[in-house]
Every structure is written in structure tokens, then in C-alpha cells.
Amino acid sequence: MAASMNTAGEENILRDIKNQFFEMVPIRRMKWKTTHSDEDVSPDMQRAVLKATVQHATCKQYPPSLNYQRAFVKSILHKLEDIDADICDEIYETYSDLLQQKEEEDDTLCYKTYTLPCGNTISLQESVHLISQGTTGLSTWQAALNLAEWCMENSTFLKNKRVMELGSGLGLTGITVCKNNQMKSYTFSDCHPQVMYLLMRNIETNLAEQSSQTVFTPPDVFPSSSKQCPEKKDGRMIKSIRRQLSTNTEASNPCSVSMCSDIMEISYTSTASSSYDDTEDMFSDSADFQIESQNWVMDDCLPGMYCFCQDERIRLMKYDWETSDDRVLWDIAPDVILAADVVYDVSIMPALVSVLRKLLSLEMECGQRATAVIASTIRNEDTRDHFLIVLANEGLTYEIVDSPTKRIFHYEDTIPIEILKIRCPAAS
Ligand SMILES: C[S@@+](CC[C@H](N)C(=O)[O-])C[C@H]1O[C@@H](n2cnc3c(N)ncnc32)[C@H](O)[C@@H]1O
């Protein structure tokens, strides 16, 4: 940082801008703190902002989308022009460099980096669209961030527990828990093949033993029928996801995602093409999805379950609430079930709640039963009420728990997020 950039207030401003930038907070929602001094817009401060964001090493290793980087620098330019401030050359140069950079494919996959209070970061590869490929799982939702904050504040609740997460998506909640909490084990699960693929990569990027910030060897995850060398496969895998995501932005077919009715209400990028047909599509056979990576070992006893070699507490499982075999749940026997933003689709609720009931009614060795903690964004009261009715019909009880007191991440909070603890009372 420049010599004059060392007051606590300025450092605070920079940290806040940096965190918002790497989380890719929409530019219109970005909050710029101020020390109310001229230093806020001085050329030194402008350089410091560039260094903390677009010129930062994280931006090279885990780049936010190029469009976002451009919009960010452009917004700084506009802000400075509006107040007639002295604009340093680096701002113009950086903006011009960004304009000249070629977008990789369609800029549909990017990294978002979330900073934890201890300073550690979590970098997740995500889609820039909320709904893509007919799934909501390719981006991180507010409830996942809220639940991660809750878990950080309730570390004793998770201590030495076997945790299973349903509908993990890209893994933000679970990766935060694995970094912060001393749980006995953590099983990530989801059903969508592309979500599973990015989830696996995100776990490797962030939870590999050595360091979350080191470059990892490309994994080798593939539909089992495909036989190619690992690096090529990995590149093709990402290319395949990118290509499908960009196709989806062009072809809009709301019918194919109409089931996600609740989420559709707030999605401005709704685009899934169920008719997309490409013989090169690596994910065309979603049922046939296997990890063939040296970083993961298949569990011989549990079908679809993989153990992470770098940390044996971490497991990843393809589990579909509607079609997967229940028996695997008895083998996992979690003490705690976590899920974020899985209550949005009325049609899937019976299957989800049935899985919850099976997990919550298992008697542990100690005679105790598990507890589920579900965080939901309440976009639609009817959807939430319907969920509560389905819970009651399955004999499950719930309580609303206190929201996390401290905001760590920068997500939209105009729509309330509710966290429920759900249990299955023992028969008297
Ligand atoms: C709205 S996303 C939430 C993802 C993540 N928990 C978050 O909050 O960022 C819902 C997730 O549930 C998963 N999901 C939907 N239906 C499912 C099913 N039948 N079985 C398992 N997972 C499912 C989706 O693949 C997706 O990852």
C-alpha cells in the first residue's frame, strides 16, 4: 500500500471494497465506505483500490468475470468524474487493458472469493447466472451464506458431529464449516452432474491439506464411459459447462425450470434449454457420473460416495432425494443435517421431507436423534407454509432459530432468510 494509505479507516475501506469485489457484489449494490476526507479519492487511494482488486494476485488466480471487472473499474471512473477528482493514469490504463482482454468463451463461469473473519478465503467456481442448465445449483445463494454465518457462530452445535448437507450446490456452506468447525465428518451431497463436478473442484481448491491458495492438479471426473487423459478431460469438462451455459443464455425455455417457481420469481437470468443437444456434451448421461480422480476414493460399501484423500472427514455423494436408495442414509447416520435454499419448489418437497424424516428418525448409539438446520430465503410465504405443512404431515417438529448476529458476507438482505431447526420426536 502507498505510504499515505495506512490509516485504519482507509485500510477498512480497502478491505471492504476488496471483499465486495471478489464476491462479485452487483456494482449497483456495492457500498463504498468513506472516511469523509479528501484522501478517499486521492490518486494514492485510487492505486490502492486497483491493487486490492483487479491487480490483486487473487484476481489472476481466481478471476471474477471479465465483464464484472470492467464494470467495476468503469464505475470507479464515473464516480471520480462525477466529483471532478484527479484521476490517476492507472485507472484509464487498467480499464483499457480490461477492454482489450479477450473473454474466455462467454464469460459464463467465473470465480467468487469469500473472505472469512480469520482472513482465510474460499474461492468458488460459479456460473454468472442464477439458473442455468435447468438447475439452481451453479451459483451460491444468499441462504448458503447466511447458514455459513450461523454455523460459524454456533460452532459448539457442530463440534464432533457427523454432518450431512443436502443440496450442497457449489459448497459454500460446507467448505466454510470444514474450514472453521471441528466436526467429525462432513458429507456434501447434490444430484445434478454439473453441480457435482464444480462442487468437487471447489472442495479440492479450498480444502486440500497444503493450502487453499495453491494451484491443484486438475482432477479427473468423468462419466465412466469416457476414457481420455486427465488434463484434457478436465479442460473439456469446463469447456462443456461453459458452452452449455452460454447456449442457455441464448435459448430461453422457462418451461423447463417452471418447477423452481419460487426462485423463478426473483431470477432475471432464467434460461435453461432442455432441448440442448450436443453429442460432445460431457454431461449428457447424468445417471452415469463417476469420479475417477486420485484425490477421491470411492467408498466400497456406499454406492455413489467418495472420500476426499486430503482429509478423510470429507465426503462427497451424489444423492437425489427422489430416486436415490434410502439405505445409504442409515450408513451415513448424520447427527446434523444442513441445507440451504432447498425449499423453493413445491413439487420436490414431499421427497425432500421424506429424506429428512428418514434421517431424523434414526436412533444414534447414544439414543439421540439428529437435528436438521435448514436456511431458506422466504421469497414466497405460501411456499414456506406449504413446507411447514409437509413437515407436520411427516410428524416432524420445527423451531425458528435466531439469525446470525454478525454479517460476514455481502449478500442481498431485502428478502428475509429464516433458519429452522427440525427434529423428529421419539414415539412415546
Ligand atoms: C437453490 S440451490 C441451493 C444450493 C446451495 N445450497 C446454495 O444455497 O447455494 C438448490 C440445490 O438443490 C439441489 N437439488 C434440487 N433437487 C434435488 C434433488 N432432487 N436431490 C438432490 N439435490 C437436489 C440442486 O442441484 C441445487 O444444488
- pLDDT tens-place string over residues 17-30: 999 999 999 999 99
CA 28 / ligand 1 centre spacing (Å)? 28
- The predicted-structure confidence for 329-362, as pLDDT tens digits, reads as follows 989 999 999 999 999 999 999 999 999 999 999 9
How many beta carbons lie within 10 A of that of residue 408, not counting itself?
A: 18
The residue whose CA has the least distance to atom 26 of ligand 1 is 137
Residue of 370, 375, 347 lying closest to 359 (CA atoms): 370
CA 97 / ligand 1 centre spacing (Å)? 38
Cell of 319: 444423492
The residue whose CA has the least distance to atom 15 of ligand 1 is 167
3-state secondary structure at position 67: helix
Per-residue confidence band for 225, with pLDDT thresholds at 50, 70 and 90: very low
Which is more confident, 248 or 130? 130
Distance CA 88, CA 90 (A): 5
| Amino acid identity for residue 172 in this structure | L
CA 56 / ligand 1 centre spacing (Å)? 32
CA 104 / ligand 1 centre spacing (Å)? 27
Residue 263 pLDDT: 60
Q: Is the dihedral of CA 71, 199, 247, 102 positive or negative?
A: positive
CA 317 / ligand 1 centre spacing (Å)? 13
Give first-to-last CA distance, the chain, whole Å. Answer: 65
Q: Is the dihedral of CA 384, 390, 395, 396 positive or negative?
A: negative
Assess whether pLDDT exceeds 50 at residue 266: no
How many beta carbons lie within 10 A of that of residue 28, not counting itself?
A: 7
The pick from 112, 136, 353, 377 for probing ligand 1's pocket by mutation, whose C-beta has the most ligand atoms within 8 angstroms, reads: 136
Assess whether pLDDT exceeds 80 at residue 3: no
Cβ within 8 Å of residue 127, ≥6 positions away: 108, 109, 133, 138, 139, 241, 245
How many beta carbons lie within 10 A of that of residue 60, not counting itself?
A: 9
Distance CA 400, CA 387 (A): 13
Alpha carbon dihedral 302, 307, 313, 314, in 10-degree steps, equals -110
Residues linked to residue 369 through DSSP beta bridges, in sequence order? 363
Q: Once rounded to an integer, what is the mean pLDDT over residues 79-87? A: 91
Pocket of ligand 1 (CB under 6 A): 135-137, 140-141, 143-144, 167-169, 172, 190-192, 195, 319-322, 340-342, 348, 351
Return the DSSP state at 132: B
Distance CA 343, CA 139 (A): 16
Atom of ligand 1 nearest to the CA of 323: 19
Residue 243 pLDDT: 66
Residue 161 pLDDT: 96
| Amino acid identity for residue 191 in this structure | C
CA 51 / ligand 1 centre spacing (Å)? 36
Residue 301 pLDDT: 84
CA 320 / ligand 1 centre spacing (Å)? 9
The residue whose CA has the least distance to atom 23 of ligand 1 is 167
Distance CA 140, CA 130 (A): 8
Cell of 293: 480422480
Weakest mean pLDDT among 142-156, 192-206, 268-282, 349-363:
268-282
CA 318 / ligand 1 centre spacing (Å)? 11
Atom of ligand 1 nearest to the CA of 324: 20
Atom of ligand 1 nearest to the CA of 375: 8
pTM: 0.86
Residue 286 pLDDT: 43
The residue whose CA has the least distance to atom 5 of ligand 1 is 169
CA 137 / ligand 1 centre spacing (Å)? 5
Q: Once rounded to an integer, what is the mean pLDDT over residues 114-140? A: 83
Q: Please check whether residue 227 is in contact with residue 338, taking contact to mean a CB–CB distance below 8 angstroms.
A: no
Share of the chain above pLDDT 90, in %: 61
Assess whether pLDDT exceeds 70 at residue 248: no
Which is more confident, 254 or 393? 393
Distance CA 14, CA 17 (A): 5
Share of the chain above pLDDT 70, in %: 77
Atom of ligand 1 nearest to the CA of 192: 25
Burial of 6 (0-12, 13-18, 19+ CB in 10 A): exposed
Atom of ligand 1 nearest to the CA of 138: 27
The residue whose CA has the least distance to atom 13 of ligand 1 is 167
Residue of 149, 51, 62 lying closest to 408 (CA atoms): 149
Per-residue confidence band for 279, with pLDDT thresholds at 50, 70 and 90: very low
